[in-house]
């Protein structure tokens, strides 16, 4: 079927493709490093905080790949809600162990 190609829209905020590529590669590398950091952090409470930072990196990744709606979800869930739930659970488990 005939699908009209999407025409590139130029706005004052448009960056050159090369710059966008560099941004995307950078954030991909940062996310890979962040994921490794989460795995390598052994103390659970610390891991929750590192996971929160990783969530922020993921949010930037989604933004760099043109998915602002997923960015918002990832920011709220990955960077805030999930670490909070983990920390609360850890607090409860620690008390029970005491």
Partner 1 sequence: MTPGQRRWLFLAAMACLAVFLVWGLAGLPGFGDYPGPYGDIINRIAVSQTNATGVVSAINFEYRGFDTVGEEFILFVAAAGVATVLRRLRGEREGPARDEAAGRELQPTSEAVRVVALALTGPAVVMGWYLASHAQTSPSGGFQGGVVLATAFVLVYLGGQFLAFERISPVDLTDAVEALGAGGFAAVGIAAMVMGLPYLQNFLPLGTVPGAVSSSGTIALISFFVGVEVAAAFVLIVGELLDQTLLVRQGSE
Q: Own/partner pairs for 87-90, CB < 8 Å, 24+ apart? A: 87/45, 87/48, 90/44, 90/45, 90/48
Is the CB of residue 30 less than 8 Å from the CB of residue 57? yes
Pairwise CA distance, residues 45 & 88, whole Å: 10
- 60-72 CB burial, b ≥16 within 10 A, e <16: bbbbbeeeeeebe
Task: Check residue 39 for interaction with partner 1 (CB under 8 A).
Answer: no
Per CB under 8 A, which of residues 43..72 are in contact with partner 1? 68-69, 71-72
Task: Check residue 80 for interaction with partner 1 (CB under 8 A).
Answer: yes
Q: Which of 8, 11, 18, 97 binds partner 1 (CB under 8 A)?
A: 97
Task: Check residue 30 for interaction with partner 1 (CB under 8 A).
Answer: no
Residue 80 Cβ, how far from partner 1 at the closest point, in Å? Answer: 6
Residue 95 Cβ, how far from partner 1 at the closest point, in Å? Answer: 6
Point out which residues bind partner 1 (CB under 8 A). Answer: 1, 3-4, 6, 68-69, 71-73, 75-77, 80-81, 84-85, 88-89, 91-92, 94-98
């Amino acid at each position: 079927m005939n699908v009209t190609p999407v025409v590139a829209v130029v706005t004052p905020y448009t960056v050159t493709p090369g710059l966008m590529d560099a941004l995307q590669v950078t954030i991909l590398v940062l996310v890979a490093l962040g994921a490794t950091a989460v795995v390598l952090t052994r103390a659970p409470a610390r891991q929750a905080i590192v996971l929160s930072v990783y969530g922020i990196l993921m949010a930037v990744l989604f933004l760099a790949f043109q998915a602002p709606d997923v960015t918002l979800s990832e920011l709220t869930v990955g960077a805030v809600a999930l670490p909070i739930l983990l920390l609360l659970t850890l607090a409860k488990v620690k008390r029970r162990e005491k």
